[in-house]
Amino acid sequence: MAEPERLTGGCQCGAIRYRVAGEPKMLYVCHCTDCQKQSASAFGMSLRIDPAELEFTAGRERLQTWSTRGDDGNVKRCAFCPDCGTRIFHGDEDPAATISIKAGSLDDTRELVPVAHIWLGSAQPWVEIDRERFRCFDGEPDDEAALERLWRARRH
C-alpha cells in the first residue's frame, strides 16, 4: 500500500482550509440535477471520507451548514464558506457517517481518478464518458461497497 498522501483543500476565498488525514474511500462524479444546481456547473465530484479524518487547519468556526432533503428522503447537511459560498462537504444527520468532500475544493486533484459516473440519466447531453474506464450508472449505484473496493484496488 502506498503511503497515504495528505490531501489538502479549502474554499475559494481561503478562509477555510482543511486536510484529509487518511485514505479516501472513493471518488465519483455525479450528474444528478442537484449536483448540477449545487455546483452551478455540469456535475459534482464527491470524495467519500471518514469524518474523523477531516481536519480543519483554518476557519472551522466559520463553516455554515444548510440542510436539504434528497429524493431518497434523507436529510443532507451541506457545509460551506459563508464568505465565498464554496461548498466544502456534504454529510447526513449522523455525524459519524461517511461524508463527501466536494472534490473541486481540493488543492490538487490530479492524483485522484474517479471510479464511477453516476446519475448519467440526467447528464448534460454533450458529456461523453469512457465506459471502458469508468463504471457507469444511469441513477444511483446498486453496490457502493463494490465501488469502494474497486477504487481501493485501483489506488494501490
Minimum distance from residue 35 beta carbon to Zn ion (Å)? 3
Task: By CB under 5 A, tell whether 116 contacts Zn ion.
Answer: no
Looking at the DSSP assignment, which residues form a beta bridge with residue 15?
Answer: none
Task: By CB under 5 A, tell whether 115 contacts Zn ion.
Answer: no
| Secondary structure E strands in the chain | 7-10, 17-20, 26-30, 44-49, 54-58, 64-69, 75-80, 87-92, 99-102, 116-118, 135-136
- Please give the size of the binding site for Zn ion, defined by CB under 5 A: 9
Residue closer to Zn ion, measured from CB, 55 or 64: 64
Task: By CB under 5 A, tell whether 15 contacts Zn ion.
Answer: yes
Residue in the block written with cell 467519500: 48
Task: By CB under 5 A, tell whether 30 contacts Zn ion.
Answer: yes
Query: How far is Cα 22 from Cα 75, in angstroms, rounded to an integer?
Result: 26
Task: By CB under 5 A, tell whether 113 contacts Zn ion.
Answer: no
**What residues line the site for Zn ion (CB under 5 A)?**
11, 13, 15, 30, 32, 35, 81, 83-84
